Amino acid sequence: MSVHKKAIKRVTTHVLSEMKLKGEKISMLTSYDYSMAKLVDEAGIDVILVGDSASNVMSGNETTLPITLDQMIYHGTSVVKAANRALVVVDMPFGTYQGNSKEALSSAIRIMKETAADAIKLEGGKEIIESVDRILSAGIPVMGHLGLMPQSIHKYGTYTVRAKQDEEAAKLIADAQLLEAAGCFAIVLEKIPAELGQKVAESVKIPIIGIGAGSGVDGQVLVIHDMLGITQEFSPRFLRRYHNLAAEIKGAVGSYIEDVKAVSFPNEREQY
C-alpha cells in the first residue's frame, strides 16, 4: 500500500491578501542560507525575506549598501532550496533599480530566473515608481518598503524614527497608495510611529508588514540573527529577542575546546 505525503499548502501573494481580509496576522523573518531557512520554513513562517541585511549579519558590513546582485542571488538560491511552504522574497540591492528602470527590470529578471524566488522587494515610493511599473509589467511580484529605508541611510544620516512630522507622514501614506495602485502585493514599513503604521494599513487593501511600525499593521518582520540573539550589538526598541543563541553557541564551543584539549573527545564510542 502506497503512502502519499499530505501536500504542503504554499503561501502565495493571494494567500497574503486573504490573510489581511480575514484579519490574520502575517509572520515574516529573514534567512540567508539553506540550513536556517529550512528550520524557519518547517516552523511555519509565512514569508521568508532574503534581506540585503545579509550585508550586515553575514558579511560584517556597517550598512546594506556594499552587497551585490550576485551575492543576493547566491543567498536567494540557497534559501529557495529550503522553502517548501513560505513565500520567498529577495531584496534588490542598492544600485540595481534606482534611476534606471531598464536596469531595474534586468536585475529583477536575474533574481527571479536564477533564484526561483516568489517575489522581489525594493525601497522607495514616488522616486522609484518607474522601476516598479516596469518590473510589474513583466509579471514579477513586487513588495514595497517605506519609512526608514536602510539603502538611503547616507541621505538620512541617522537610523532614527521616520515620518514623525506631518509632511513626511503624508508623503509616506501617498507613496503607499501609489505602490498599491501600481500593483505591489505588500509593503514593509520600517521604524515609523505606531499610529501612522495603523493608518497606512487601514488606507490600503494590500498587506502592510511592520518592523518597528506598531501592532496595528497586518504582520511583522525581524532579522533572524537579531531575534535569536546571535547578534548582540543591535538593540532597537522594536526588537524582541526570543533566544540568546550567542551565549549558547559560545558555551557549546567552549565545551568542545575543553574536550579536545582534555582528549575526552572523541571517546571510544565516537571512533571507528
CA atoms lying within 13 Å on the CB side of residue 206:
21
Is 190 marked active-site?
A: yes
Residues 6+ apart with CB under 8 A from 220: 25, 26, 27, 28, 209, 210, 211
Identify whether the C-beta of residue 41 lies closer than 8 Å to the C-beta of residue 86. Answer: yes
Pairing of strands 219-222, 47-50: unpaired
Which cell numbers in the block locate residue 228? 535569536
- DSSP code per residue over 181-242: HHT-SEEEEES--HHHHHHHHHH-SS-EEEESS-SSSSEEEE-HHHHTTS--S---TT----
CA–CA dist 31, 224 (Å, integer): 7
Residues 6+ apart with CB under 8 A from 7: none
Which cell numbers in the block locate residue 198? 495603523
Q: Which of 42, 190, 233, 268 is catalytic?
A: 190
Burial class (CB in 10 A: 0-12, 13-18, 19+), 189: buried
Identify whether the C-beta of residue 165 lies closer than 8 Å to the C-beta of residue 184. Answer: no
H/E stretch holding 156: helix 153-156
Active centre residues (catalytic)? 190
